[in-house]
Chain A
Amino acid sequence: MLENIYTELIAEHSQSRENRRTLPNATVKERGHNPSCGDEITLELAVVDGVIADAAFSGTGCAISQASTDMMIELMRGKTVTEAQKLAELFIAMIHGDITDDAELDALDEVAALKNISTMPARVKCATLAWHTLEQSLNK
């Protein structure tokens, strides 16, 4: 069970520092918080002409929430706001186990590897924190 969750991919992305910074040209700044566990992130986006030109984050949390945030940022770079909203919806549906078809999840690219977390109800909110934060920031 553990090897399906704490994969190389999660280890790599949770320990990566590349996307942990602040954006001097941020157009959107959104805080996300899981009050029950204390995980907290600040997501920053630089949206130019309806396209997410750059994204970064800061904050603390478990490996799942940190890796999920890091992978989300890499997926979102270069996407339009509409594409980003669709991808966030898709990811959240995957983690809740509502969409299981791999072909449908193709659009999530590498992030689809987080699918196994849908089998761990206690960790669902860790994986979705960044994505809910993204949805909130884009709906503004």
Chain B
Amino acid sequence: MNAYAMSASPVPDTHVVSDRLSKNAMRHASERVIEALLFAAAAVSVLTTVGIVYVLVSESIQFFASVSIVDFLTDTQWTPLFDDAHFGIMVLVSGTVVSSAVALAVAIPMGTVIAIYLSEFANPKVRELAKPILELLGGIPTIVFGYFALLIVTPLLQKIFPELPGFSLLSAGLVMGIMIVPYVASLSEDAMRAVPMSLREGSYAMGSTRLHTALHVVVPAAFSGLAASYILGISRAVGETMILAVAAGMQPNLTWNPMEPAATITSYIVQVALGDLPHGSIGYQTIFAAGLTLLLITLIFNILGQWLRRKFRENY
């Protein structure tokens, strides 16, 4: 900064000015330091990924030293803390799959209908009002949704299905679906709004109704974005923890029936973390193996989502 003050005297010769500036080495040095610091901050995100992979893989390697991968994938019991220990991850995966399926059965139709409504039917005023509501719904803490599932939705469902137990994948899944609706709706709406107006105008000019245009022109054109939003919904459902830990019970149960209680991959991790397992024990390592499974499942869906995006992207 002082370089400017010193060079305040009129110096017509441009060569001298640039010389002075170039001599101010500190100015450039501090710029370099700042750039390096900013880069370091950006690199933290990469370090986070490296850290996640390192922790999950290194603990899982120790786990798989004592449990074979074949047993892990094919055993039909999950009793890691019993004397007769079994480590069949499929038991937990079944809970995750069933609860996610229930959630998606709610979230995908509802989210899509809301998105189509907001992007093709609603007037701007309704849209201005609806978007913050969806955002607030998406911002509700999952533990509060868990409370909602256990103490409000389950008793309601028990009036319809009297045989429904106090903990069930069904009520947890339904509430999880409501939780995911805002994500699906807002991403799908973005995708549909990106479809150029000319396509809709062409369709209207041919005499189509709004609904026909929405379903037969806009939705196919925005398909890659819709698919991406569904995939994100799946990732959310698979990774959701607290709703399941509160409302689905934490009993490992190999089942495909949503009316039963069951543990999921995530709620098992919570259950172990709530207890007092010594660092380095096999029980401690199981949560990392479960976490690695979870990460791989979400990773597969992410890759699938990116592939769908690329494959079905329409260029305008």
Q: Do A and B bind each other?
A: no
Q: Which residues of A contact B (CB under 8 A)?
A: none
